[in-house]
Homo-oligomer: A and B are copies of this chain.
Amino acid sequence: MEFTIGQIASLLKGKVEGNPDLKVSRLDKIQEGQPGGISFLANEKYEPYLYQTAASAVIVSEEFRPSKSISTSLIRVKDPYLGFTQLLEAYAEFNKAALVGVEQPSFIDESSSIGSNAYRGAFSYIGKNCSLGQNVKIHPQVYIGDRVKIGDNTIIHAGAKICADTQVGANCEILPGAVIGSDGFGFAPQEDGTYKAIPQLGNVIIEDQVSIGANTTIDCATMGSTIIKKGAKIDNQVQIAHNVIIGENTVIAAQAGISGSTEIGKNCIIAGKAGIVGHIKIADQTTIGANTGISKSIKKSGETLLGYMGMEMKSFLKSYSIFKNLERLENRIRELEKKP
């Protein structure tokens, strides 16, 4: 889509210096600006680029005084970085809202309903007795199993699979290839060494404003629900096992894994590749470092843990710094042993 510089200035409550009728259709870095693009200048380190940029417009601060002549148009605002961010958001919102209607072929069981202003992409599948809200965007090749509920404004990206009985709140975003609500990993060992599948009859509940990354997997509960609470943000390739509860506003980075029935508090940060065993509780505001393993409940909130078997961060770093020079330590012992 295209906007005039005047329209953008009006959105940002700023003033145009230059031609307000010039059209832009792209957001560029100032050092890579090209005609048709709009950039911003917030950090004076980048000021030299302003005098060279081919961008059609640059957002600058109200106070900014150029030291050389400028060929691009300017939009003056109070805070150029904030202004640019608003523009990014408006652009993203616009892109999302633009998707409306039904592409064919797509599949929806007649017992299911979807609200107004929705999008259903080609090859998307919606099973029986589903209820999808307004402005919901179901991208191509998405799978929605039976009895799924999805709240208003939620976006399910290409090829994500939302299995039967899952509930997804409003304003959520589920990225491509994520699998929500497939069977948990439950097998009962038999006397002859084989395993028998334990039926997984629960579901997944995802509350409002949750993001789920690409190719992430969240298993349904054995009974009851696996729950991802309001505002949680989950990155790509995360594994969340059956009956786990993730607290409000908890952030989980890529390739982390949470084993069955564990409960994570709110406002926690779990870094990439961290692994947490099953059946434990992690207190609110816990930070768990990259590739850290956690095998016991964390009861005190606000701690930071690190290491193969999650230790308090400072202790771990101290121990690891000695580990790095263990040979020196051994040499000191050898010297002591030589003493008479």
Contact = CB atoms under 8 A, between A and B. Distances in A.
A220 to B, nearest CB: 11
Interface in A102-155: 103, 105, 107, 121-123, 125, 139-141, 143, 145
A233 interface: yes
Contacts of A307: 308
Contacts of A336: 333, 336-337
Residues of A contacting B: mostly? loop
Interface in A279-328: 290-291, 293, 295, 307-309, 311, 315, 318-320, 322-327
Nearest to A257: B255
Interface stretch (A2-10, A13-21, A64-72, A194-202): A194-202
A241 B217 contact: no
Contacts of A231: 194-195
Interface of A: 27, 29, 32, 85, 88-89, 91-92, 103, 105, 107, 121-123, 125, 139-141, 143, 145, 157-159, 161, 163, 173, 175-177, 179, 182-183, 185, 187, 193-195, 197-199, 201, 209, 211, 213-215, 217, 219, 223-224, 231, 233, 235-237, 239, 241, 248-249, 251, 253-255, 257, 259, 266-267, 272-273, 275, 277, 290-291, 293, 295, 307-309, 311, 315, 318-320, 322-327, 329-330, 332-333, 336-337
